[in-house]
């Protein structure tokens, strides 16, 4: 990112962009032509997925078991969709049978849910829901913000039609970009829309002209420097190898939980459903409630460690500890555990 | 931008953000509380301005004399607005009287036009149009993408309700952020909407919770690194002093035109309406039409100079030469002129 700027239509930049798109395809487990770094954060990636696939009045089923499921439902409402939510207690996975029942009943155009719920640390199994969606020929949108490059994502094998992620999670790049991928089937649906996509900035047909046209047509100015950074992050992930990278995330998470339990922290999520890159823990009684914020403030100011607070119904009850990308190392975990022991001694 | 990342809710980052917002107020000539760096490019800034102020069925008058006026009209249509355009030949300014007539006839909720049309190099006088808009109590949206920090922008004095810019023009930062500013009157209108803003990502009421609330509420993850860069760019502009900066842009533009005319290039825009930071010139006969692209390619590959092509009806007829921010210097102009003399000898 310290490289001098070049133009967004410069042939050298277009070549870098093409190489980056290939790398993103590997991470997403897809051959989707329309795989690209969207020029805004993951929330804009979410809007891109839902705005392009939904028209006003279209039915959608959204799985909601955390902040980002709530957000998906809200974005879908703003697209004018008829939204049916299927809820699960925060910290647990969505129920395959409840999702399947809703899908069979509503026969939605789109089914949408979160792979790695950053607000709770739950990893959602994908295949049961996709299978129900395929039975009614619905498109499937998957939020991969926190999973991409930290655990397996297999869009093609799973049958996902649209997915989005963020640069700042397991890719360890600065926030600001959202890798997205759309299946050919999704693109066909976008091309056969009756009404224009409600965001010009996020309109896939227009983005395609710049990101994948033979003649690269100006749409908006791509964020060159951020894309340099993302390309470096993707290169690093591929150099490490995905299997090794996933194992490193898993090891770090195991080490964290083993170290936290003696201090009185208890995992929120059942072992089978835990994300490796985001560990949520219930707090020991002595720092529960309002006292927990003071401990997080000390971690940040004295040790330079930022730990996420609980959100929504889990506010004051849990911490969310991210071990993502470069940070997913046992040394990082030891540094946190030492700091906690000093504060809580 | 080489600084280590910190969190988007880190107190140190919030302090930097507050300082940046103050700097942006100085550049925009405003005391608007709601002045902030939006987390995407200028086109998203345009959508933020129009999506927040418009509801479905609202009438808007848009001035169109280049690519960005066309884009404003398109974005307004996607917001479901009833769009009336007032057109002027590309390369000329909008007519005050035609705009006033349309405004008096339509009595729009919003009037929208471009201050510095990057596709033609025309600077639009603001006050006549604003005065007509105020007579029918319309909100005024001004595109300041290319003008901000390169020539005077005076939102409060002019009576502008919403404005947006880009980080990559006269602030010489990487592309990716859009400084935006909304008047209190605009905020009141947003707060009294009947329907939600059609983009969750760009919803001002939600952005306010993060960017200016007493308690900074998570909305989306701010692009930290890009904001570090923008803050440095704004600091540099203010250290130079705005008057000195504007004069530097004007000097560079005069030097460019004086040097280009002997080579057979002729300014597209009348002297009174020319932008200093973007000079559009008609091409000499010998490189007109399809031959011009080859010259631009040589400029880029042999000299590292990128010159913009003509757009829309001006394709193949003009070049657009940017002298923005750090590049607005007579030395930069001399380097270009030398390169052109070598190629065209």
Residue B307: give its domain's CATH number.
3.90.1150.10
Question: CB contact, 8 Å: A174 with chain B?
Answer: yes
| pLDDT (tens digit per residue) in B38-52 | 999 999 999 999 999
DSSP A314: G
Give the DSSP H or E segment for A85. Answer: strand A82-87
- Half-sphere exposure (CA, 13 Å, Cβ side) for A295? 24
Please give the biggest Cα pair distance in chain B: 64
Any domain includes A1: no
| pLDDT (tens digit per residue) in A125-172 | 999 999 999 999 999 999 999 999 999 999 999 999 999 999 999 999
How far, in Å, CA of B306 to CA of B300, rounded? 5
Contacts of A222 in chain B (CB under 8 A): 175
B303 burial type by CB count under 10 A (0-12 exposed, 13-18 middle, 19+ buried): middle
Any domain includes B2: no
- Half-sphere exposure (CA, 13 Å, Cβ side) for B141? 32
Distance from the B332 Cα atom to the nearest Cα atom in chain A, whole angstroms: 16
Q: Are residues B263 and B321 in the same domain?
A: yes
**Domain range holding B60?**
11-239
**Long-range contacts for A157-161 (Cβ within 8 Å, ≥24 apart)?**
A157/A29, A158/A29, A158/A126, A158/A127, A158/A130, A159/A130, A159/A134, A160/A126, A160/A130, A161/A53, A161/A185, A161/A186
The two tokens of residue A51 are 């705005």
Q: Are residues A171 and A318 in the same domain?
A: no
Number of domains in chain B: 2
- Of B8, B112, B143, B221, which to mutate for an interface test with A (greatest number of A Cβ within 10 Å)? B221
Helix and strand numbers, DSSP H then E, in chain B: 12, 13
How far, in Å, CA of B182 to CA of B32, rounded? 6
- The confidence score (pLDDT) of residue B289 equals 73
Q: Are residues B96 and B130 in the same domain?
A: yes
Any domain includes A3: no
- Half-sphere exposure (CA, 13 Å, Cβ side) for B12? 12
Contacts of A39 in chain B (CB under 8 A): 40-41, 44, 176
B330-344 and B242-260 helices cross at what angle (nearest 10)? 20
Identify the domain boundary among B239, B264, B288: B239
Q: Are residues B205 and B310 in the same domain?
A: no
- The confidence score (pLDDT) of residue B131 equals 98
Above 80 in pLDDT, residue B89? yes
Q: Are residues B224 and B264 in the same domain?
A: no
Any domain includes A43: yes
Q: Are residues A228 and A314 in the same domain?
A: no
Q: Closest partner residue to A41 among B166, B220, B300, by Cβ?
A: B220
Residues 6+ apart with CB under 8 A from A192: none
Contacts of A219 in chain B (CB under 8 A): 43
Cβ pair A12, A6 in contact under 8 A:
yes
Q: What is the reported pTM?
A: 0.96
Residues 6+ apart with CB under 8 A from A86: A61, A62, A63, A64, A94, A95, A98, A99, A102
Q: Are residues B108 and B158 in the same domain?
A: yes
Q: Are residues A208 and A300 in the same domain?
A: no
Cβ pair A235, A84 in contact under 8 A:
no
Are A2 and B2 a contacting pair at CB < 8 A?
A: yes
Q: Are residues B223 and B248 in the same domain?
A: no
Identify the domain boundary among B219, B239, B259: B239
Question: CB contact, 8 Å: B289 with chain A?
Answer: no
Task: Give the DSSP letter string of B239-281.
Answer: HH-HHHHHHHHHHHHHHHHHHHGGGT-EESS-GGGB-SSEEEE
Distance from the B160 Cα atom to the nearest Cα atom in chain A, whole angstroms: 23
Q: Are residues B41 and B106 in the same domain?
A: yes
- The confidence score (pLDDT) of residue A308 equals 95
| pLDDT (tens digit per residue) in A72-107 | 999 999 999 999 999 999 999 999 999 999 999 999
Identify the domain boundary among A208, A239, A270: A239
How far, in Å, CA of A206 to CA of B344, rounded? 36
Q: Are residues B170 and B226 in the same domain?
A: yes
Any domain includes A72: yes
Q: Are residues A115 and A68 in the same domain?
A: yes
| pLDDT (tens digit per residue) in B109-147 | 999 999 999 999 999 999 999 999 999 999 999 999 999
Contacts of B71 in chain A (CB under 8 A): 200
Cα angle vertex A304, ends A301, A307, to 5°? 90
Assign residue B79 the CATH number of its domain. Answer: 3.40.640.10
Any domain includes A5: no
Question: CB contact, 8 Å: A15 with chain B?
Answer: no
Any domain includes A67: yes
- The confidence score (pLDDT) of residue A85 equals 98
Residue where the block lists tokens 């409060």: B156
Q: What percent of chain B has pLDDT over 70?
A: 100
Distance from the B135 Cα atom to the nearest Cα atom in chain A, whole angstroms: 31
Contacts of B43 in chain A (CB under 8 A): 200-201, 219-221
Above 90 in pLDDT, residue B201? yes
Any domain includes A129: yes
B273 burial type by CB count under 10 A (0-12 exposed, 13-18 middle, 19+ buried): middle
């Amino acid at each position: 990112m310290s490289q001098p700027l070049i133009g967004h239509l410069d042939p050298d930049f277009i070549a870098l962009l093409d190489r980056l798109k290939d790398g993103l395809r590997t991470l997403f487990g897809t051959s989707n032509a329309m795989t690209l770094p969207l020029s805004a954060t993951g929330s804009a990636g979410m809007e891109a997925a839902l705005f392009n696939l939904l028209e006003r009045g279209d039915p959608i089923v959204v799985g909601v078991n955390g902040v980002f499921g709530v957000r998906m439902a809200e974005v879908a409402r703003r697209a004018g969709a008829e939204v049916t939510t299927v809820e699960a207690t925060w910290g647990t996975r969505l129920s395959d049978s409840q999702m399947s029942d809703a899908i069979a009943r509503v026969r939605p155009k789109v089914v949408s849910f979160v792979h790695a719920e950053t607000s709770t640390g739950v990893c959602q199994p994908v295949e049961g829901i996709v299978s129900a969606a395929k039975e009614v020929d619905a498109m499937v949108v998957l939020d991969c913000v926190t999973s991409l490059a930290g655990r397996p994502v297999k869009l093609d094998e799973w049958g996902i039609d649209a997915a989005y992620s963020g640069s700042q999670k397991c890719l360890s790049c600065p926030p600001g970009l959202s890798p997205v991928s759309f299946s050919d089937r999704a693109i066909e649906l976008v091309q056969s829309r009756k009404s224009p996509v409600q965001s010009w900035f996020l309109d896939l047909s227009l983005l395609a002209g710049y990101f994948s046209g033979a003649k690269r047509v100006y749409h908006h100015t791509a964020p060159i420097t951020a894309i340099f950074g993302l390309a470096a992050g993707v290169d690093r992930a591929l150099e490490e190898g995905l299997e090794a990278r996933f194992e490193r995330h898993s090891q770090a998470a195991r080490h964290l939980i083993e170290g936290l339990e003696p201090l009185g922290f208890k995992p929120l999520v059942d072992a089978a459903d835990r994300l490796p890159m985001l560990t949520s823990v219930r707090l020991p009684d002595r720092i529960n409630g309002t006292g927990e914020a003071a401990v997080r403030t000390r971690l940040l100011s004295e040790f330079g460690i930022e730990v996420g607070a609980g959100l929504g119904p889990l506010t004051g009850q849990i911490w969310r500890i991210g071990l993502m990308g470069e940070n997913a190392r046992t040394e990082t975990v030891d540094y946190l555990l030492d700091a906690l022991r000093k504060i809580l001694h």
